[in-house]
């Protein structure tokens, strides 16, 4: 098929053979653009939706005066958080950001004797010239994070007074063996690209951000550090290479960390073999702990939900900075200061095919053959003309009108089982389902890439990896989880200006709790509007604005940049530095917490906000 024949015409598609259609990426015009024609005479006409350069990762779209305004139900709220018209810029590094002065952060703490460290010659750090290509060069954390050295690795700093003076016969940390075994065998957290364990790789990614040879955050001198990263891999240790863990007991190493948080450092020194001097200085408030799973952390209790895991399993109400993939609306509402002490981040997707163009090409190859089935939204069809195809520079651009209205696929499990069942039933009764599943169930990544909206309920907890897969597929998310909190937004931390309504919708689940159609797809008597009916009421201008901001959210929620993936199918295995928006946002937020600066607010909050009577379940 020659795509050039569609260069000046609206593309119409034939569904009967869309799965087989192939496309040659090099045949798509490199100067492709997308023109949007608005029906409203007051709106701009011929808006270039792709932006100045059309690059997926280009955030310089300053010509849209609606960016930074809250978008909800087709209306704009001028009072929402705004940062020079673009709250996404909050996460950018300003040139030579001011670092926190170590002496000012720690002062003269006579309670902790650091004389051995002051007398020892720790290795010097590289110069800024040596680091000139580092993506974190302008971060306030430049060469300011001390990473505790890996067991028995002298090149990693396993020498000098950083080691415990009381214990010398230290055995290998168990997660190091488990990680090596999984990496060599390519299973567990290093399994095939579409392995379920990929969503639990946050701890590996954060470690790469801190320690990769191309990063410039790590200092080898703990006296120069304002943050201390603990290289504990709880998910790797817990799963031992298996998708479903067998042993739910608490490890002695997790207990050692828990004890250190409480001020008992004996086990830390004995098991980790490291000094507790720097734990003592700020009671761990300047220490970073990373948890990759929402329901696991330093312990693995079963059948616990609600705030239990945040408080007890992941220790979010204690001094250390907790980096995790989940927190709940209920928890943030009760403990806003403690929530802001910690950092909630996106679930990772280490499958490079999501970002290196492979899945995009698969979707585009079917694009031409979808529209005639009339599964698109009228708001997309009536107001948008595809003037050419959808390759921008050297890769595909999917942030544009879609040939299918919605996509939903999820198992009927988790806290909100009834919601999921009703959604599955009603989606089965839509034209979108008829088109996508005509020849069998389409792959998850494909359905998201050809659809305008993607409903996203919670899973076993308020969040799910799908929330971020949806964003990175260019599909506008409809959140159906009351307790879900978007990372890097003011839902998690009121100091962040970004409002999730810029790029996503959130609807009441109570309206969708019961199926609107019978199993035979007959509309039930007196049924309230279905999800499809609600979607059809969304105006074209709202879709346009959501999609424009969704492009930026996609960059924000990706741990590797488009260029950073370098065509890799598994960047973790290929030792590629995570240099994407999520990595930079994490570094930015850590910099604001240097020296444990946010613990004081949390501690004060806990003096008046009694811990107890916290929710033991999540709100759907």
Task: Return the exposure string of 473-511: e unless at least 16 CB atoms fall within 10 Å of the residue's CB, then b.
Answer: bbbbbbbbbbbbbbbbbbbbbeebbbbbbbbbbbeebee
Give the domain range for residue 40.
Answer: 3-90+356-557
Backbone φ and ψ for 319, nearest 5 degrees, come out as -55, -40
Residues whose CB falls within 8 Å of the CB of residue 475, separated by 6 or more in sequence, listed in order: 402, 407, 448, 449, 451, 452, 453, 454
Q: Please indicate, yes or no, if residue 432 is contained in any of the structural domains.
A: yes
Instruction: Note whether 596 and 516 are same-domain residues.
Output: no
In this prediction, the residues of the chain whose per-residue pLDDT falls under 70 are: 1-84, 95-96, 110, 193-194, 371-373, 382-395
Instruction: Note whether 464 and 518 are same-domain residues.
Output: yes
Instruction: Note whether 229 and 342 are same-domain residues.
Output: yes
Q: Is residue 150 exposed (0-12), middle (13-18) or buried (19+ Cβ within 10 Å)?
A: middle
Q: Supply the pLDDT for residue 212.
A: 97
Q: Supply the pLDDT for residue 418.
A: 86
Number of domains present in the structure of the chain = 2
d(CA 304, CA 7): 56
Instruction: Note whether 308 and 362 are same-domain residues.
Output: no
Q: Please indicate, yes or no, if residue 345 is contained in any of the structural domains.
A: yes
Q: Supply the pLDDT for residue 219.
A: 98
- Specify whether the backbone of 247 is left (phi greater than 0), alpha (psi in -120 to 50) or beta: beta
- With contact defined as beta carbons under 8 Å apart, do 556 and 581 qualify? yes
Q: Please indicate, yes or no, if residue 119 is contained in any of the structural domains.
A: no
Instruction: Note whether 178 and 315 are same-domain residues.
Output: yes
Structure tokens at 23: 């496309």
Instruction: Note whether 531 and 590 are same-domain residues.
Output: no
Instruction: Note whether 321 and 407 are same-domain residues.
Output: no
Q: Supply the pLDDT for residue 101.
A: 85
Instruction: Note whether 442 and 321 are same-domain residues.
Output: no
C-alpha distance from residue 425 to each of 269, 410, 513, 516 (Å): 56, 11, 11, 8
Q: Please indicate, yes or no, if residue 302 is contained in any of the structural domains.
A: yes
Q: Please indicate, yes or no, if residue 569 is contained in any of the structural domains.
A: no
Q: Please indicate, yes or no, if residue 439 is contained in any of the structural domains.
A: yes
How many CB atoms are closer than 10 A to CB 26?
Answer: 8
Q: Supply the pLDDT for residue 62.
A: 31
What sign for the dihedral angle of Cα 207, 212, 214, 219? positive
Q: Supply the pLDDT for residue 371.
A: 66
Instruction: Note whether 538 and 590 are same-domain residues.
Output: no
d(CA 208, CA 5): 46
Instruction: Note whether 432 and 362 are same-domain residues.
Output: yes
- Specify whether the backbone of 600 is left (phi greater than 0), alpha (psi in -120 to 50) or beta: alpha
Question: Taking the chain, what is the end-to-end CA distance rounded to the nearest angstrom?
Answer: 46
Q: Please indicate, yes or no, if residue 417 is contained in any of the structural domains.
A: yes
Q: Please indicate, yes or no, if residue 127 is contained in any of the structural domains.
A: no
d(CA 210, CA 606): 31
Instruction: Note whether 448 and 364 are same-domain residues.
Output: yes
Instruction: Note whether 16 and 145 are same-domain residues.
Output: no
| 139 closest CA partner among 93, 183, 188, 176 | 93
């Amino acid at each position: 098929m020659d795509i050039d024949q569609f260069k000046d015409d609206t593309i119409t598609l034939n569904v009967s053979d869309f799965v087989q259609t192939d496309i040659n990426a090099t045949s798509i015009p490199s100067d492709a653009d997308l023109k949007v024609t608005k029906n409203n005479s007051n709106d701009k006409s011929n808006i270039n939706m792709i932006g100045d350069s059309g690059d997926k990762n280009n955030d310089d779209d300053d010509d849209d005066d609606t960016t930074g305004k809250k978008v909800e139900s087709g209306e704009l709220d001028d009072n929402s958080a705004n940062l020079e018209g673009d709250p996404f810029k909050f996460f950018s590094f300003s040139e030579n950001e001011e670092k926190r002065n170590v002496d000012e952060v720690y002062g003269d703490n006579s309670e902790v004797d650091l004389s051995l460290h002051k007398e020892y010659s720790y290795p010097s750090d590289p110069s800024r010239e040596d680091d000139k290509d580092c993506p974190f060069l302008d971060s306030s954390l430049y060469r300011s994070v001390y990473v505790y050295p890996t067991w028995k690795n002298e090149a990693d700093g396993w020498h000098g007074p950083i080691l415990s003076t009381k214990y010398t016969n230290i055995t290998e940390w168990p997660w190091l063996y488990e990680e090596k075994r999984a990496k060599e065998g390519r299973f567990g957290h290093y399994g095939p690209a579409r392995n379920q364990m990929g969503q639990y790789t946050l701890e590996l990614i954060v470690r790469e951000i801190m320690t990769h040879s191309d990063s410039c955050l790590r200092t080898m001198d703990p006296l120069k550090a304002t943050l201390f990263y603990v290289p504990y891999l709880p998910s790797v240790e817990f799963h031992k290479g298996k998708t479903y863990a067998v042993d739910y007991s608490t490890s002695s190493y997790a207990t050692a960390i828990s004890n250190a948080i409480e001020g008992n450092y004996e086990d830390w020194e004995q098991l980790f073999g490291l000094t507790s001097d720097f734990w003592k200085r700020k009671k761990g408030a300047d220490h970073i702990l990373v948890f990759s799973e929402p329901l696991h952390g330093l312990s693995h209790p079963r059948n616990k939900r609600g705030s239990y895991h945040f408080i007890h399993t992941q220790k979010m109400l204690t001094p250390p900075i907790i980096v995790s993939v989940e927190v709940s609306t209920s928890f943030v509402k009760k403990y806003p200061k403690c929530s802001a002490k910690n950092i909630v981040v996106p679930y990772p997707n280490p499958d490079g095919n999501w970002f290196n163009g492979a899945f995009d090409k698969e979707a585009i190859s079917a694009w031409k053959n979808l529209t005639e089935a009339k599964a698109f939204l009228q708001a997309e069809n009536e107001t948008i003309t595809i003037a050419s195809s959808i390759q921008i520079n050297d890769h595909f651009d999917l942030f544009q009108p879609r040939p299918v209205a919605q996509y939903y696929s999820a198992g009927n499990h988790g806290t909100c089982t009834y919601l999921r069942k009703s959604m599955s039933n009603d989606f089965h009764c839509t034209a979108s389902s008829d088109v996508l599943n005509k020849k069998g169930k389409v792959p998850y990544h494909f359905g998201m890439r050809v659809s305008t909206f993607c409903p996203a309920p919670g899973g076993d907890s308020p969040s799910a990896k799908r929330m971020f897969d949806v964003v990175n597929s260019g599909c506008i998310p409809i959140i159906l989880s009351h307790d879900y909190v978007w990372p890097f937004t003011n839902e998690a931390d009121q100091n962040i200006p970004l409002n999730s309504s810029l790029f996503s919708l959130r609807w009441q689940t109570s309206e969708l709790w019961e199926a609107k159609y019978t199993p035979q797809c007959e509309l039930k008597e007196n049924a309230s509007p279905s999800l499809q009916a609600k979607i059809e009421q969304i105006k074209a201008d709202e879709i346009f604005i959501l999609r424009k901001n969704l492009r930026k959210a996609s960059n924000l929620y990706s741990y590797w940049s488009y260029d950073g993936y370098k065509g890799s199918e598994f960047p973790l295995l290929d030792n590629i530095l995570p240099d994407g928006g999520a990595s930079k946002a994490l570094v930015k937020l850590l910099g604001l917490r240097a020296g444990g600066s946010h613990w004081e607010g949390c501690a004060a909050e806990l003096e008046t906000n009694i811990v107890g009577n916290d929710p033991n379940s999540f709100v759907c």
